[in-house]
Amino acid sequence: MTPEYAYQTVQKTLYVLSPEILLLAAAIVMITASPFVRVARQRWCAIAAAALAGGILALIATRDVVPDAYAAVVVNDAMSFYVRLFVLLSGFIVLGIAHREPPEGRAAEFFGSFLMIQAGTMITASANDLIVLFVGLELVSIPTYLWLYLSRRTAATQEAATKYFFLSIFSSALLLYGLTFLYGLAGTTNLKALGALASSSIPYFPSLSLGVLAVVFILAGLCFRLAAVPLHFYAPDVYQASPLPVAAMLAWIPKVVGVLAIIRALTAVLASRELGDPLINKVVLLCWIVAAATMTLGNVMGLLQRDLKRLLAYSSIAHAGYMMVAITAAFASGGARGNAFYHGIEAALYYLAAYAFMTLGTFGLILALRKADGKPAATIEDLSGVGWTNRIPALGLTICLLALLGFPPLSGFMGKFQIFASAFSAVEGPEATSLRLLAVVGMLNAAIGAFYYLRIIVLMYFGKSEEPLTATGGWPVALATGACAVLTLVIGIAPESISRACREAAASANVLPDAAVDAPPAVAGAVAAPATAIISD
């Protein structure tokens, strides 16, 4: 590698990371300036929104910068671009929901941390290096502790923050441990190079026992972010104790980074392997169990809940289970299957997009509907009769709940359709049975889960209103939740645009570009496999 080439790579990397750098700079300025200037809460929120808008511009401006995949620490492929764009856009929705949450004095820190969380998510999406991936994940975690603690300093939130803090640290440690195994296998931290090594014909690579250890620990660490079994149990307590906007963020951002990290560090690296491979065989079994257990636990426990936030926590666990089904399918089918009509990663990404709108919409609308004492509705009974007293918010909530339930033609249905279709068509022959069984388990779960969403709708429309609720929050909440409800409907009826983006993203994540002429040492010695078109379009 010549010095010029190294310089060029670093330059391009910085260009690619410019949206994140911009967000982080804005966050640092906000947090540093806050003790010295008095700015109203709305202003801080507006500054954060402006930073997001600037991030979008920077993202679009650097669309065509492509650093060398085997040398740079980030990639700028379709997945990186679309996911970062989506995360930035969804940031406006979270801001809209949370704009009144922090107390006046701590608004700058609150919105600053939010920008950091966004930047962390985006770094995870574009990471091409184990260390950068970990940095991205931590950049999400650490400001999240602040979020949990900043908004309200009651005993309950303190408990939630502490619980989340210790478990998060624990899971990060597990993840880091797994990543070191991955590094130890190949001696490189570059993810594309790891993928190229896995697809090469080097004997005994990846070694089965070390490979399984790496996958188990990485998955264990990421299950915490996804709120998947066995590291799901914090979710109901933390959600219940946190204010609604924080819970909304917790239900959305950690899921994105969890799925993205699994894609970047595991499925894309192992994309060249298929179900016949002994390592993949074990990984699929592991994911199968995690997916089935997560879905079942989330849905069954959801049936018992009366508290809205706990109910939504179990709902988010159940949805993590559906995403794990797609990831299981992605592992099983590898990258190069022409005849799976939805690839697992494509389905997982689409489901994330659908999930963002329906779950943020649900949280936002519940937040907006306040009782006479100014507190938002806490139990499902509080929503009784709201269908007739607050027609428009109730309609939006109904749309979001029906989408969570998987009702056609809303986005949740399309998402479930893609996930179960991907599981169904991932492999052919006798090995397909277990994945198809997983799809059946998922469908039965969707049927169980339908009950607790439907119960809310039944109460909203068929119940009697005891304590009238009023819709509050002003135009930002109305705009954010309205956008969620409308988009839930629109991307269900016309899923083509999102679907195409997800497809390109999935294809690009699994692609191994040709090594540059001046091959970096990491891949020298590996038989650089030619780039194969992963998903035929």
Binding-site ranges for another protein (CB under 8 A): 338-339, 341-342, 402, 406-409, 413, 417, 420-421, 424-425, 428, 436, 439-440, 443-444, 446-447, 450-451, 454-455, 458, 461-462, 495-496, 499-500, 503, 537
The residues, ordered by sequence, that sit 6+ positions from 157 with a Cβ below 8 Å of its Cβ are 148, 149, 151, 241, 242, 243
CB burial readout 502-512, b (16+ within 10 A) else e: bbbbbbbbbbb
- Of residues 152 and 503, the one with the C-beta less far from another protein: 503
CB burial readout 118-131, b (16+ within 10 A) else e: bbbbbbbbbbbbbe
- Of residues 44 and 424, the one with the C-beta less far from another protein: 424
- Of residues 217 and 424, the one with the C-beta less far from another protein: 424
- Of residues 225 and 319, the one with the C-beta less far from another protein: 319
Nearest distance from C-beta of residue 500 to another protein, angstroms: 7
HSE-CB at 280 with a 13 A cutoff on CA atoms is 24
Nearest distance from C-beta of residue 369 to another protein, angstroms: 20
∠ Cα 314 480 28 (to 5°): 90
Q: Are 319 and 285 in contact (CB under 8 A)?
A: no
- Of residues 203 and 338, the one with the C-beta less far from another protein: 338
Q: Please write down the HEC assignment for all residues of 243-278.
A: CHHHHHHHHHHHHHHHHHHHHHHHHCCCCCCCCCCH
- Of residues 45 and 460, the one with the C-beta less far from another protein: 460
Nearest distance from C-beta of residue 341 to another protein, angstroms: 5
HSE-CB at 456 with a 13 A cutoff on CA atoms is 34
Nearest distance from C-beta of residue 289 to another protein, angstroms: 20
Nearest distance from C-beta of residue 428 to another protein, angstroms: 5
Give the CA distances from residue 305 to residues 111, 248, 381, 528, in Å, rounded to whole numbers and listed in that order. Answer: 32, 18, 11, 53
Residue in the block written with tokens 């997983």? 438
CB burial readout 342-365, b (16+ within 10 A) else e: bbbbbbbbbbbbbbbbbbbbbbbb
Nearest distance from C-beta of residue 397 to another protein, angstroms: 15
Neighbours of 398 (CB within 10 A): 18
Q: Are 78 and 501 in contact (CB under 8 A)?
A: yes
Residue in the block written with tokens 């989340």? 164
- Of residues 166 and 462, the one with the C-beta less far from another protein: 462
Q: Are 154 and 37 in contact (CB under 8 A)?
A: no
Nearest distance from C-beta of residue 326 to another protein, angstroms: 14
- Of residues 408 and 525, the one with the C-beta less far from another protein: 408
- Of residues 374 and 429, the one with the C-beta less far from another protein: 429
Q: Are 173 and 217 in contact (CB under 8 A)?
A: no
Q: Which of 142, 122, 144 is nearest to 133 (CA)?
A: 122
Nearest distance from C-beta of residue 447 to another protein, angstroms: 4
Nearest distance from C-beta of residue 463 to another protein, angstroms: 8
